[in-house]
A = this chain, B = another copy of it.
Amino acid sequence: MSRIVPAGDRAPKVGIKDVSREAGVAISTVSHVLNGTAPISPAVRGRVLEVAGRLGYLARRQAMGTIKTLQTVLIALPPETLAQTSINMVSWTMLRALGAACEQRGIKLEPCPVDSAAGAYRTIVDAIGSAGADGVLLLNVDEPGVLDALAQSEVAAVLLNAEDSQMRLDSVTPGNRFGACLAANWLIGQGHRRILHMTWHGRTTIRRRSEGFLDAFAESGLKRENALFCHATGWEPESGALAMDNWLDEHGGLDGVTAVFCAADNLALGVLQAFAARGISVPGDISVMGFDGIAPGQFAAPSLSTVNIPLDQLGPAALNLLAQRLTGGRDAPRQKLELGCELVIRNSTGQCPNQG
């Protein structure tokens, strides 16, 4: 319980000394640059800062500032996330990165499965007590009941990949809305005018992607009726394939749609299958864009264009917010942090086929 993990300090321990040597100045000069305690020539200042950054001293020092208020952290997960069936790559990739960050910083990470039903709050409080945890991260949880109880309690809590619509708790999410807008804008830039957005009735984070899709249409001044929606029954590839099949049946073919933008890579993989089965060519007849940036998309045929979520940074960022909350006092304003996503164009997307 209070065993100490040896905190894999394999950082080569760069010090101010190393920086001074590399930059060719005295130790005290480096100190002065770093603290602004003496007027230094811009040339020297620039060189020192550059070297300090390059050698990783700046980062190490920033890490030093972060005191180890975090010893044990609870990670609350809905049981769906842990289920082995229908693997949720996004969650598992995030958890892996979070686990690695904790290991590196010598933080013990204690999992705590919580039912989305009532009682979840008590489960968390009990687990914090028995694990002696300093705070709790909640992955994919946005049940109002749980958040209400947590917000009123003294527990330090940060939401990971979820939002608190009342902003009583800190949260970290990918920039879902902006990321989706980015993707849709790119498709529009390729000449696509009639685009199908495939999504499902998921949590807020998923709805943000629909908002971004619509933003792109509004910004471009395109007709709203060409922003089409198709709701799958879930986020697994099979749901995507099924939904696409049904849609094609109902509409008697592509019906003028030249691009499908899916709210998840998993759906997009299913859509690729559905098109392949019908002999519809991607991206010849239609472009397919995903969202998430999970590995299977990269190895699909054709390889899937997508929006990369910074999966490796979300967990560490949540950890930082938790530490800040423990340090900075309870009355500082809550923080809602979104991390930027990145458009990755591969082979499943191309120019609009029926362009003048």
Question: Does A152 count as interface, using CB distance less than 8 angstroms?
Answer: no
Which chain B residue shows the least CB distance to A175?
B167
A12 to chain B, nearest CB (A): 17
Question: Does A39 count as interface, using CB distance less than 8 angstroms?
Answer: yes
A61 to B65, CA, bound (A): 5
Q: Judge whether B39 and A3 touch: CB under 8 Å.
A: yes
Q: Judge whether A38 and B165 touch: CB under 8 Å.
A: no
**Given A59-B328, A62-B66, A65-B64: A39 and B337 interface contact (C-beta under 8 Å):** no
Q: Judge whether A35 and B67 touch: CB under 8 Å.
A: yes
Question: Does A339 count as interface, using CB distance less than 8 angstroms?
Answer: yes
Question: Does A69 count as interface, using CB distance less than 8 angstroms?
Answer: yes
A contact residues, range? 35 or more
Q: Judge whether B334 and A67 touch: CB under 8 Å.
A: no
Residues of chain B lying within 8 A (CB to CB) of residue A37: 4
Q: Judge whether A165 and B215 touch: CB under 8 Å.
A: yes
A110 to chain B, nearest CB (A): 15
- Which residues in chain A, 27-70, are within 8 Å of chain B measured between CB atoms? 34-39, 42, 45, 49, 52-53, 58-59, 61-69
Question: Does A233 count as interface, using CB distance less than 8 angstroms?
Answer: no
Residues of chain B lying within 8 A (CB to CB) of residue A35: 67-68
A160-194 toward B: CB 8 Å interface, digit per residue (1/0)? 00000111100000010011011000000000000
Question: Does A329 count as interface, using CB distance less than 8 angstroms?
Answer: yes
A61 to B39, CA, bound (A): 24
- Which residues in chain A, 61-98, are within 8 Å of chain B measured between CB atoms? 61-69, 71
Residues of chain B lying within 8 A (CB to CB) of residue A58: 67, 69, 327
A328 to B52, CA, bound (A): 11
Q: Judge whether A69 and B42 touch: CB under 8 Å.
A: no
Residues of chain B lying within 8 A (CB to CB) of residue A168: 340
Q: Judge whether A310 and B333 touch: CB under 8 Å.
A: yes
A320-356 toward B: CB 8 Å interface, digit per residue (1/0)? 0000101111001111111111100000000000000
Q: Judge whether A327 and B62 touch: CB under 8 Å.
A: yes
- Which residues in chain A, 274-330, are within 8 Å of chain B measured between CB atoms? 310, 313, 324, 326-329
Question: Does A106 count as interface, using CB distance less than 8 angstroms?
Answer: yes
Which chain B residue shows the least CB distance to A182?
B166
CB < 8 Å neighbour of A313 from B67, B106, B333: B333
Question: Does A7 count as interface, using CB distance less than 8 angstroms?
Answer: yes
A159 to chain B, nearest CB (A): 13
Residues of chain B lying within 8 A (CB to CB) of residue A132: 42
**Given A53-B329, A63-B65, A64-B65: A4 and B39 interface contact (C-beta under 8 Å):** yes
22 CB < 8 A contacts A-B: A2-B42, A36-B106, A45-B71, A53-B326, A58-B67, A59-B327, A62-B65, A62-B66, A65-B66, A165-B215, A165-B219, A167-B175, A167-B178, A167-B179, A167-B338, A167-B340, A167-B341, A333-B339, A333-B340, A336-B339, A336-B340, A337-B338
The 8 closest A-B pairs by CB, nearest first: A65-B65, A334-B340, A36-B68, A310-B333, A336-B338, A167-B340, A333-B339, A333-B340
